[in-house]
Each structure stands twice: as structure tokens, then as C-alpha cells.
Amino acid sequence: MPTSLSILPTVATAAPALPRARKTPVRPRLGRGLDVLIKSQSVPQAELPITTTMPPPPELRDTSAEAPRSPALVAQVRLACSPAHRLAMFCGALMGGIVAFLGYYIAHHEAPQHVLVPGWPSPLWILVAGALLFSAKTVWQFGQRAFNDRWKATGFVLILEGVMVFSSTDWLAMTALAYLIIINAIATGTNLALEDEISIK
């Protein structure tokens, strides 16, 4: 008679199956540049760095809306001598030169004799100061382009306007006046010519 142990079915205890190790495919070395390229393509879109758009080069940039720059000194003289801009230069001579002439005439012929209160300067010197202030900036910019130095440009303004107003030698004062009329005429005429070309375009 078999024992009770032999009647029981034999239960085979199976060991749990171990997970199989995944074989990582060996990727051939493609070089540093290709490795970096592959890694950059595997980055999610949200983690990509934000790149800024580079501005276009100056030759492709639209400058139609920008303010026109004043040309160089030689370019201004060449523009003044151009037959196509005679009307602009004539208007510039009238508008820019008349102020210097009025300042000269008042300083030499009216302000010294027109004294309202004895011992006080004539109020007409205020008009002379306005004429000098009108042309001082234009003459300074003209001298800055010619001498490429601020100190020389400042001295250029002082000597021209000072001689025109205070010199008792007629030919010196009139020479300074002629210089001021020419400079103001060229500068004002150049601005008018540039504005005319922009309006035509």
C-alpha cells in the first residue's frame, strides 16, 4: 500500500523566468560632427533653442523711409554746380544768404546810430544776434566736414561771424559776408535739392 506521500501529485516548482537582456545595437562611430547632428535631431521640438532672425545686409535693407543724410562737403559743392539743381541753389541763396546780409547791414549801418537810451546798446543788436545764431550751426557743420575737427570748426564760425560784425575794415567785413552767404546758400540749396529728389521718387 503506497504511502500518503506517494499519492499526492508531484508539484514542480518552476523558477521565475528572468527577463532577457536587451541587446543594445552598437552604432558605428560616425565622427563628432555626425554624432552631434544625430543628437540634435533626437531632441524634442519644445526643447530646441530659439534662434533669432538675423537682420538683412545693408545693401538689401529698405532705406526708403529713412531720413536722408546730408552729403559730404565735396558732394554738396558738386550738387550746387549741377545744372539740374540751379533752381534749388537759387532758392537756397535767397533763403540762406539774405539773413547774413541783413545781419551785416544792421551791424554796420543801423545799430551804431540807433540808440534809444544813452549808455545802453541799441536793441537792434538783438536782430544781429539772431542772424548770427541762424548761420552759426550751418557754418559750424560746414567747417566740421571741411576740417574734421570740432575746435577748428568752432574757430571758423567765430572768425567769420566776428569779422563780419565787428571789423571796421570794409573789405574784411564784406569778405566774411561773402563766405557766409556762399556757405548758407550751398547748405540750404543742398537740402532743397535732396528734398526735391525724394519728392520726385
Is residue 130 a part of any domain in this protein? Answer: yes
In degrees, rounded to 5, the angle at the alpha carbon of residue 169 between the alpha carbons of residues 155 and 164 is 40
Query: Under a CB-based contact definition with an 8 Å cutoff, are residues 141 and 191 in contact?
Result: no
Residue 148 predicted with pLDDT over 60: yes
Q: Is residue 41 part of a domain?
A: no
CA dist 185 and 131 (Å) reads 14
Residue by residue, DSSP assigns the chain as ---HHHHSPPPP-PPPPPPPPPPPPPPPP--HHHHHHHHHHHS-GGGSPPPPPPPPPGGGS--TTSPPPPPPHHHHHHHHT-GGGHHHHHHHHHHHHHHHHHHHHIIIIITTT--SSTTS--TTHHHHHHHHHHHHHHHHHHHHHHHS-HHHHHHHHHHHHHHHHH---HHHHHHHHHHHHHHHHHHHHHHHHHHHHHHH-
pLDDT higher than threshold 80 for residue 184: yes
**Average confidence score pLDDT of the chain:** 73
CA proximity to 96, closest of 189, 161, 173 = 189
The region of weakest confidence among 5-9, 84-88, 117-121 is 5-9
pLDDT digits (tens, 9 = 90+) for 44-81: 554 545 555 565 555 445 444 444 455 677 777 777 67
Number of compact structural domains in the chain: 1
Neighbour-count burial of 161, counting CB atoms closer than 10 A to its CB (0-12 exposed, 13-18 middle, 19+ buried): buried
- Whether 153 is in a domain gets the answer yes
> CB atoms < 10 A from the CB of 120, how many?
8
pLDDT band for 187, please (50, 70, 90 cuts): confident
pTM of the predicted model, to two decimals? 0.58
Average pLDDT over residues 141-157: 92
Give a yes or no: residue 146 inside a domain.
Answer: yes
Grid cell for residue 74: 565735396
Q: What is the pLDDT of residues 21-54, one digit of tens each?
A: 555 555 555 455 445 444 545 545 545 455 555 6
Is residue 180 one of the residues assigned to a domain? yes
Residue 15 falls inside a structural domain? no
Report CA-CA distances (Å) from 32 to 39, 48, 198.
11, 20, 55
User: In this structure, are residues 160 and 177 in contact, taking their beta carbons and an 8 Å threshold?
Assistant: no
Domain membership of residue 168 (yes or no) is yes
pLDDT reading at 188 higher than 80: yes
The verdict on residue 13 lying in a domain is: no
Query: Containing domain of residue 165, as a range?
Result: 96-200
